[in-house]
Chains A and B, each alone.
Chain A
Amino acid sequence: MGASYGKLMMWFFLLSDAFTFSGLLITYGLVRSSHQAYEGLVSTFTFSTEYWPVPEKVFEAVPFLHGYELPLVFVGIMTFILIMSSVTMVLAVEAGHRMDRKAVEKWMLWTIIGGVTFLSCQAWEWTHFIVGTGVPTMKDVFNTETGLWEQIPILGANLHVNQYGPQPFADFFFFITGFHGFHVFSGVMLNFLIYYNTVTGVYERRGHYEMVEKVGLYWHFVDLVWVFVFTFFYLV
């Protein structure tokens, strides 16, 4: 067929993974489009459980710049990091084709650094999302002792409460970015394995660097998914 067995299987695995991610993102689309959209001006937007939030109003914080409204800047930096690590990965593949062990080592190391940086950014973003900031959103809660409905202030979000809007918004944030982050984590592990095997000369003795290519496919796929998550979760 002209493509090696290993590469072929990686491609079919990635196709099945694409279906999994599509399942998550499409369910997000279904739930989002079935909720009330925010109708007013973006400049006067406030968080409410009544309508779906405007994403750029939720994701506007950047580390070390507390108090500034910088919509989507941090997620833009994360996108940049992931694209750059995709480039260094493809450069490692190119070096592998030339049997250039030193260059493969160099580019794999850069790719691993990119992946770890992305994960660190995501850890910060999750912490910020969970802790919450600004004015608390009021939520109606039934008090079983008094038998009355009460309003309690909500700051931050988890799988039970959500400051930023309807509950599914927080749920999807955790599941979609979490599932992607888990893929990045697995990718960093695989990249490290490849780096280790390169350093110890496994591929040099084998006579080819096809493993770099196969894991490279996985790593690019992770970047590809992020492109879609970025558009459908943060931009739209």
Chain B
Amino acid sequence: MAHHAHEPQVTVLPPDKAKIKKLWTVALYLLLITIVEFIIAFSVPHEYKQLRVWVFVALTIVKAGYIVGEFMHLRYEVKVLFWSILIPIIFIVWMLVAFVYEGIKMPVFQ
């Protein structure tokens, strides 16, 4: 095509080895945490329901932290952006606590 003559000169930089290695390390952590969740799911008896739930929730938050912080790069963004995303999450936590508490107290289906 004609406009090929006007293609800009592109300089391709070599791969950032350290960065790529870090990304694969994060992926490895995510997989390891998931494997740990599986091990807990089948080794900790269902009688310890509370313990299971809290461990699962904690591991999920760790995984979410890695995805948002590293993959979505939020850790390295400017502080204003970081906090304007994190602070509204408080409302979700509040909603979660309030509604699940309500559900436990609700006698309709018991």
Contact = CB atoms under 8 A, between A and B. Distances in A.
Contact of B24 (A54, A79, A87, A89): A87
A100 B92 contact: no
Contact of A22 (B38, B80, B96): B96
Contact of B46 (A19, A42, A89): A42
A3 B106 CA distance: 45
Given A26-B95, A76-B34, A90 B85 contact: no
Interface in A85-106: 86-87, 89-91, 94-95, 97-101, 103
A49 B27 CA distance: 40
Interface residues of B, number: 55
29 contacts: A2-B77, A3-B78, A15-B88, A18-B92, A19-B88, A26-B100, A29-B96, A29-B99, A30-B100, A30-B106, A31-B103, A33-B100, A34-B106, A34-B110, A54-B46, A72-B41, A83-B34, A86-B71, A90-B71, A94-B23, A98-B16, A99-B12, A101-B10, A101-B12, A204-B8, A223-B67, A224-B64, A235-B41, A236-B56
Contacts of B95: 22-23, 26
Nearest to B27: A87
Contact of B72 (A31, A84, A220): A220
B56 A235 contact: yes
Given A29-B99, A80-B34, 16 more contacts: A3-B78, A19-B88, A30-B106, A32-B103, A33-B100, A34-B108, A71-B42, A80-B31, A95-B15, A98-B12, A201-B7, A220-B68, A224-B64, A231-B37, A236-B52, A236-B56
